[in-house]
Amino acid sequence: MSKPTSFSGVQPSGQPTLGNLIGVFQPFVAFQDSHQATFCIVDHHAITSRPNPEDLRTNTLGIFAYYLAMGLDPAKCTIFAQSHLPQHTELAWILNSFTQMGELERMTQYKDKSQRQSDNINVGLFDYPVLMAADILLHQVQHVPVGDDQLQHVELTRDIATRFNNLYGPTFTIPKAIIPQVGARVMDLQEPNRKMSKSRPGPGTILLTDAPASAAKKITRAVTDSLATIAYNPQEQPGLANLIDIFASLNNQTPQQVVQQFQGQQYGALKTATAEAVASKLEKLQTAYNSYINDKAELQNLLQKGAEKASATAEKTLQATKQKVGYVLPSSQK
């Protein structure tokens, strides 16, 4: 029986965090075995914050090196850069006419980012979810592994696809978001009611580039509570629940198993064990990352091969979509 299909992407903006690692990088490794999996580095999305060109280039290869360092194998899955397949932006343009302004205005991430970059609320930022819908629909996938902040975007993708299919007949597979059971939203270590985010670096955020010892310190200084009881209670003990999630995810356990393991002990014991788990994970990851990042020519070569692998389905979907909408196709593509 053939495996289900999946697609996901990560933006090459800033340095990825422990939230990215737990929310998607780790799950991606399992997806490459359970799925016909495609992973993208979404460089078009990253330009909505107008990065410095050199940073964008470095971060694009950087995300690819993290994919490889985590254990993604280009022989088992498909990895490519979004801008290498022009079908993504072409489909996004078509889908723009099947998306309502009101739908985009309701997107939480758009509202957050507009506040954060209030001097640069560009059209790309607004249209961002339509490009994400194009990414997913172009590859006709069933599953989209993401952290829970992307659920709203995947829901919109389903709405756009359903609308299009109802108008023109079956064209796009309706995708489903898959979020990890543990760590779908890793929280800031200092403000555990907010998501850990690369846009808020500091003591509450662990970057994958942090020295392992300094990451460990951030964990031992994480905000908890004064209840002094080890229990998994994200509403009342959000800081503690976050540490339990981090420890559980890195050790492939459930939060309940972690609670059992540390029952009756002080928070310090859980903090020390979590700090050690994080430091050890970062140390291994950074060693692997360094072994890949220096061979830029090889990374570019692999990215190009990935784009070639992904292009057949992308082109087929785009042509089918254009045909349905009523474009006159060049005779070679009929």
**Active site residue ranges:** 113, 195, 198
Among 61, 70, 85, 136, binds ligand TYM (CB under 6 A): 136
- CB-nearer residue toward ligand TYM: 21 or 275: 21
Distance (Å, rounded) from C-alpha 268 to C-alpha 65? 34
Q: Shortest gap between Cβ of 250 and ligand TYM (angstroms)?
A: 13
CB < 8 Å & 24+ apart, contacts of 102-105: 103/156, 103/159, 104/129, 104/130
For position 147 contacting ligand TYM by CB under 6 A, the verdict is yes
Residue closest to 131 by CA, chosen among 121, 143, 123, 120: 123
Q: Which positions from 14 to 53 touch ligand TYM by CB under 6 A, shown as an x/- string?
A: -----xx-xxx-----------------x--x--------
> If residue 10 lies in a helix (H) or strand (E), which one and from where to where?
strand 5-10
Residue type at 213?
A: A
Give CA torsion, residues 141, 309, 17, 11, to 10 deg. -80
Closer CB to ligand TYM, 152 or 323, in the complex: 152
Options 6, 26, 150, 249; binder of ligand TYM; rule CB under 6 A: 150
Give the length of the chain.
Answer: 334
At its nearest, how many Å lie between ligand TYM and the CB of residue 185?
5
The least distance separating ligand TYM from the CB of residue 79, rounded to whole angstroms, comes to 13
Beta carbons within 10 angstroms of residue 151's beta carbon:
15
The CA radius of gyration of the chain, in Å to the nearest whole number, is: 21
Q: Are 183 and 23 in contact (CB under 8 A)?
A: yes
Strands 36-41 and 78-81: parallel
Residue 132 contacts ligand TYM per CB under 6 A:
yes
Asked if 302 interacts with ligand TYM (CB under 6 A), we say no
User: Taking the complex as a whole, how short is the minimal distance between the CB of residue 328 and ligand TYM, in angstroms?
Assistant: 30
Binding site for ligand TYM (CB under 6 A): 7-11, 19-20, 22-24, 42, 45, 132, 135-136, 144, 146-147, 149-150, 153, 183-186, 195-196
